[in-house]
Every structure is written in structure tokens, then in C-alpha cells.
Amino acid sequence: MSQSRRTVLLWAALLVAWGLPMPAHSADTLSAAIPFKFMAGDQQFPSGSCTIDTSRGNKVSIRCGRVSALVQASALQFTGSVFKDPPRHEMIFTRYDKTYFLSQVWIGHQATELVKSDAEKELEANGAEGKSIALKIKK
């Protein structure tokens, strides 16, 4: 198999992995196949099947494989204009080089923002620039 064909197949596999979310369990829960390891709070999570539950008020419950944690968060408040847009089901990550931090979870018209970890604050203090990455979840 040629190198270019392997590259195309690798990209196709990555795109499929990004598009293979699992069905949500409730109005406050997202389940998805996440193609990279990431940080949330002070916990590192592996890539793979993850469930995120935002129903716990100021905490977000995250479970990926055998790793689970409650992470400090706050609900984002919006005015009426956001409700004119279609509902969003996505996870927003901030990427610094090869490290990903979960920063927001959108379920419908509700958004929850995770508190930045000490590791992410340190990266920012040292001048690292993060890039926002949206992982859309199909409901």
C-alpha cells in the first residue's frame, strides 16, 4: 500500500472516530468517542469512550474508561439570542501543542464552563497560546 493511501486511510479513520459518538443518556449527559487524551481539572483522561454529566450543579462528572472525576465548573448564562440558534451538542477543548484541556460542554442551549486547572494556568502564564477545538456530538 502506498504512503499516500495510508495517509488518506489514517485521516479517514480519525474523521470516523470523531463522528462516532454514542447516544446521550439524559438531557444533561453527553457520550462520545474522544480521539485524544485530555485534561479536565487536575485529572488526565484517556482517549476513547467518555461520558460527561453536567447535572451536578457546579461540578461536571467525567468518566472515560476506568478514569472518572468530578471537575469544578459553572453554568454560562445567556440572553435570548442564543436560543434562536439550533441546539448545540459539543465539547470544546483548548489545545496547547499536544495537550488538550476540556473547557466547555454544550448540551442543547445550555453551556457549562470548566474551571481552568493549575496546569493550564501555568501554560498561559508562560505565554502558551491555546487553540479552541470543537468536538461536535451527534444526538
Report percent pLDDT > 70 for the chain.
76
| C-alpha to C-alpha distance for 100 and 105, rounded to whole angstroms | 14
**Best CA proximity match to 21, nearest among 105, 95, 99, 100:** 105
pLDDT digits (tens, 9 = 90+) for 1-39: 545 444 433 444 444 444 433 333 468 899 999 999 999
Domain range list for the chain = 3-136
Average pLDDT estimate for 60-66: 95
Report residue 79's pLDDT band, with 50, 70 and 90 as the boundaries. Answer: low
Which residues in 23-39 are b (16+ Cβ under 10 Å) and which e? ebeeebbbbbbbebebb
22-26, 75-79, 85-89, range with greatest mean pLDDT: 85-89
Q: Is the pTM of this model over 0.85?
A: no
